A and B are shown apart, each in its own frame.
Chain A
Amino acid sequence: MKRLLALTWKEFLQLKRDPITLRMIVLVPIMQTIIFGYAINYDVKHLRTVVFDEAKSVESRDLVSKMTVTEYFRVVGHVSSFEELRHALDSGQASVGLVIDADFGKDIHRGQPASAFLIVDASDTTTSSQAMSIASGIANGLSIQVLSRRAGWKWQELPIDLRVRPWYNPDLKTSSFIIPGLIAVILTFTLIQFTATAIVRERERGTLEQLQVTPATRVEIILGKILPFTVIGYIQLTMTILMMRFLFGIVIQGSVLELYIVGLLFIAAVLGLGMLISTVATTQMQAMQMSTFVLLPFVFLSGYVFPIDGMPWIFQLLSRVIPARYFIEVLRGVILRGAGLGELWKPVAWLSLYTFLIIALAVARFKKTTA
């Protein structure tokens, strides 16, 4: 116990002497929360649109205004030929082109299908699929209007009435979805790199060997590294939660205590992973590269940005070895849905198993590389 205390004291002392790392501990959560919170936005609005209106009729103008009023489309120009429209899209001046047929108005009155094209820049799939669904929604609405007028129906009474209720995130804000998960990402980023380099640095400088000839046991040496970083992890967790609350107005619906308990499990898992890297890497450079190598799949397969359900089965399976996956499930559950650990027992159980295995593996590897 005394030895563990000495090891922890030493770690904090060294941290105090390392202003760059100290600043990183505080700045990384701030920067990432601001960047991810404000920059990532799936709600595609104000898509730059060029209109090639051959009809120039009341009906065609009605279609355009119906589209702009949704705020999803913003007309940046009218063109008078298909060539010009193609140029606007090719050059990236616009991402949507609307072509309205010359007979658009007349066809409606004649009872024939009035045609218009919506050309979208599908190189950005998120944007284009939203533009398509919104535009077809508008077209459907207009069609129903025309049909109901012809048949003398009342507009309000549609045969099928599907009402959508967006629970847990009523404003459909991307930040509500992004920021809780961001907590897991921030902790992964900083803690893996800190631990991975911390042990390798001691090995490079020969101090690890000096520690190992002392009576300090391997478990004490590893715990002496893990404890200070756990404190750092909690500081970052708290900072991000506070920014989430006061910058983005996301209130934790569930229990904060439960969040911190699962948070400890996750921090331990990430630290164990950093330890594992440090037993494989022989230089700090290698440790950095290896942590960067694991970080990207960690972020992308964790369900943080891309839903796991949409992945091919092999990647769904792969996402099971990513601890952030379980923590993100818990974070979203507790923060947004107010779920308790009883409801979230599955991800919590997986995370516990993972944490146990990774630390056991790290200790075993540490034994092997030094014995």
Chain B
Amino acid sequence: MSDTPRGRNGEIFLEAKHLTRRFGAFTAVNDVSFSVPRGKVFGFLGPNGSGKSTTIRMLTGLLEPTSGTATGFGGLDVAKDTEKWKLRLGYMSQKFSLYLDMSVEENLRFFGSIYGLEPARLSERIAALSKRLGFEPLLPLLTEGLSTGQRQRVALAAALLHEPELLFLDEPTGGVDPKGRRMFWDLIYELAADRGMTVLVTTHYMDEAEQCDSLAFILNGVLIAEGTPRALKKDLEGRIFEVVTQGDPFAALSGVRGDDALEDAYLFGVRLRVVAKPGREADARRLVDPLGAAHVAEPSLEDVFVSLARRRAAPQEAVAS
């Protein structure tokens, strides 16, 4: 555990308890509970419409939960201390919410003043962030003319101006080139490690999820698994076999699919991947060996998610196994 200017990294900084949100008859988020330690990057994974954004919106104070609570910042409650809560968080959404008819600097000045930054301090922050994120030459330009990647960096700067202790990132890197994503994540990790900033991010890039300190999978509004990427993968370790098929991969797939020893089988490019049921690894191996050179594959987070989702879809089966 390292000490940061704001406190000790690792203690619980944000805690969601039984968060539920209904829209009419539809339950978007159903009894979600989790906690995020200070200075950690916490990833939220799930398909579109699974309730990720709704959860984040409740945690930022944008949306009132139907029931449940969110506490954080060492004793604040989002429902009771909304203004203080908002003052200490940063938020950046997938839509890059900047004013297109204002210049980069005007946007930053505007958001900075909303957070109550003094003009001198604001200028300092703008200079530092624009340098760190490499958009100094863009400051006088209208935001309208910026590329997606440039806008994303400006939006991140806007969210960081007031040095928030908690940063929410809702699909922050959609449509951004790999180099931009790299620069983005470098800064996020630096701020988390050095300044003790806690980060909550939703993403569907598995490489980004892989780097999170902790992950939560959400499906149909329900939290189905939570843990470090390593711990989540542990369950699947040794159960995935990959084979580069000799013949037609589709024929190979339909040959093994439905076998009693397998939990799942799918194509990964030209490679066939099968997931053995727990305890049936040897049977699975025998099944794929004749198809080509088979080997045990490292489970990816995608495998973990697919496996979890399938077990969810067939709960009796999961219980039986």
Q: In whole angstroms, how far apart are the Cα atoms of A3 and B158 in the complex? A: 16
Q: Number of contacts between A and B (CB, 8 Å)?
A: 70
Check A210 against B116 for contact (C-beta < 8 Å): no
Residues of A near B106 (CB, < 8 A) are: 10, 13
Any B CB within 8 A of the CB of A370? yes
Residue of B whose beta carbon sits closest to that of A221: B114
B173: shortest Cβ distance to chain A, in Å? Answer: 16
Docked CA distance A209–B89 (Å): 14
B114, A6: Cβ atoms under 8 Å?
yes
Q: Determine, out of A144-152, A170-178, A186-194, A212-220, the stretch whose residues face the partner at the interface.
A: A212-220
B102 and A14 contacting across the interface, CB-CB below 8 Å: yes
A9 and B87 CA atoms in complex are apart in Å by 21
Task: List the A residue with the shortest CB-CB distance to B144.
Answer: A17
Which of B87, B102, B113 makes the CB contact (< 8 A) with A17?
B102
The distance from the CB of A339 to the nearest CB of chain B, in whole angstroms, is 44
Whether the Cβ atoms of B101 and A213 lie closer than 8 Å is no
Across-interface contacts of A2 in B (CB, < 8 A): 113, 116
**CB–CB B102/A10 < 8 A:** yes
Partner of A209, one of B64, B87, B93, B100: B93
Task: Give the interface centre of A17, A18, A209, A215 by most chain B CB atoms within 10 Å.
Answer: A215
A210 near B102: Cβ-Cβ < 8 Å: no
A211-B111 Cα distance, complex, nearest whole Å: 8
Q: Point out the residue from B83, B95, B101 that lies within 8 Å of A215, measured CB to CB.
A: B83
A342 within 8 A of partner (CB)? no
The complex places the Cα of A13 from the Cα of B106 at a distance, in Å, of: 9
A206 touches B93 (CB 8 A): yes
Contact assessment for B116 and A10 in the assembled complex, using a CB-CB cutoff below 8 Å: no
Pair B83/A217 contact, Cβ less than 8 Å: yes
Residues of A within 8 A of B60 (CB): 213
Cβ-defined partner of B93 (8 Å) among A9, A17, A210, A217: A210
CA gap between A38 and B99 in the complex, in Å: 42
The distance from the CB of B250 to the nearest CB of chain A, in whole angstroms, is 42
Q: Which of B87, B99, B100, B115 has the most CB of A within 10 A?
A: B99
A206 touches B97 (CB 8 A): yes
Say yes or no: is B98 at the interface (Cβ < 8 Å to chain A): yes
Interface string of A280-324 (1 = CB under 8 A from B): 000000000000000000000000000000000000000000000
- Contact pick for A371, options B63, B96, B99, CB 8 Å: B63
* Listed residue (A212, A213, A371) with the most chain B CB atoms within 10 angstroms of its CB: A213
CA distance A370 to B116 in the complex (A): 23
Query: Residues of B contacting A154 with CB < 8 Å?
Result: none
Determine if B61 is an interface residue (Cβ-Cβ < 8 Å).
yes
Closest Cβ neighbor of B170 among chain A residues: A209
List of A residues within 8 angstroms of B102 by Cβ: 10, 13-14, 17
With known contacts A209-B93, A215-B115, A10–B110 Cβ distance under 8 A: yes
1/0 contact trace for A1-29 toward B, CB 8 Å? 01101110110011001100000000000
Q: Complex: how many Å from CA A3 to CA B91?
A: 18
Other-chain residue from A6, A14, A205, A213 in contact with B113 (beta carbon distance below 8 A):
A6
> Contact string, B178-192, partner A, CB cutoff 8 A, digits 1/0?
000000000000000
Pair A213/B116 contact, Cβ less than 8 Å: no
Q: List, in ascending order, chain B residues with CB within 8 A of A210's CB.
A: 91, 93, 97-98, 111, 158
Which 4 residue pairs across A and B have the least CB separation, nearest first? A210-B97, A6-B113, A206-B95, A206-B97
Binding site for B on A (CB under 8 A): 2-3, 5-7, 9-10, 13-14, 17-18, 205-207, 209-217, 370-371
With A211-B114, A213-B168 given, name 17 new contacts (CB 8 A): A3-B116, A5-B113, A6-B110, A6-B113, A10-B102, A10-B110, A14-B101, A14-B102, A205-B100, A209-B95, A210-B93, A210-B98, A210-B111, A213-B60, A213-B86, A213-B91, A217-B83
